[in-house]
Homo-oligomer: A and B are copies of this chain.
Amino acid sequence: MDDPTPEPSSGPSRRRGAVLEEAILRAAVEELTESGYAGLSMDRVARRAGTNKNAIYRRWPSRAALGVAAYRRLAEVELRPPDTGELRGDVLALLRQINCDLSSSRSDILRGLLAGVGDDPELLTQLREQINQGGAGVWLTVLGRAVARGEVRPEALHPRVATVAVTLLRNEYVTQGITSVTDGVLVEIVDEVYLPLVRARGSTAG
């Protein structure tokens, strides 16, 4: 209750450098997942890490900076492009993977951070990178294979087109909240928007 995880009977062993940094970051990640960014207090993180605020401020200049660092650690997810042999399967697989990822209350944390970061351009950039989830790369890969199979028109191999599906999914979280993003929504995004878009042939007339 009072003793998070210090060395119990080793006397006054004192962590330094990378070890302590790790402990702080882990504590911050835990606080972030439990209480969100609003509940991320420097004192609590310090206590949880078995240290004090000084050690934190020696590494991160502000609460926002610590928050972003912790979030990046928290959101480290590798997005491997699936290969089901068919575009629809690939896209759905990717969307489900990302949706799973977004549902875990991480979107709340992200919302909090986006605001808390305020006008710090450095932190804002770091966060935007996280939001992009690996960028267009994965989508272009999947789409490229579909083009090779003749499933998709070649002009669809364009970052803005390729990422439309995940963009719509992200939008659901912003405008509707977590509750409404069921698997049915994913299917709808794929069947009503994404597939018609990338398959669209002809009618380039203005």
Contact = CB atoms under 8 A, between A and B. Distances in A.
Nearest to A117: B111
A64 B93 CA distance: 38
A116 interface: yes
A115 B114 CA distance: 8
> Which bucket holds chain A's interface residue count?
35 or more
A13 interface: no
A174 B164 contact: no
A192 B176 CA distance: 26
A171 B201 CA distance: 26
Interface of A is mostly: helix
A160 B115 contact: no
A174 to B, nearest CB: 7
Contacts of A189: 160
Contacts of A196: 161, 197, 200, 203-204
B170 A174 contact: yes
Contacts of A114: 111, 114-115
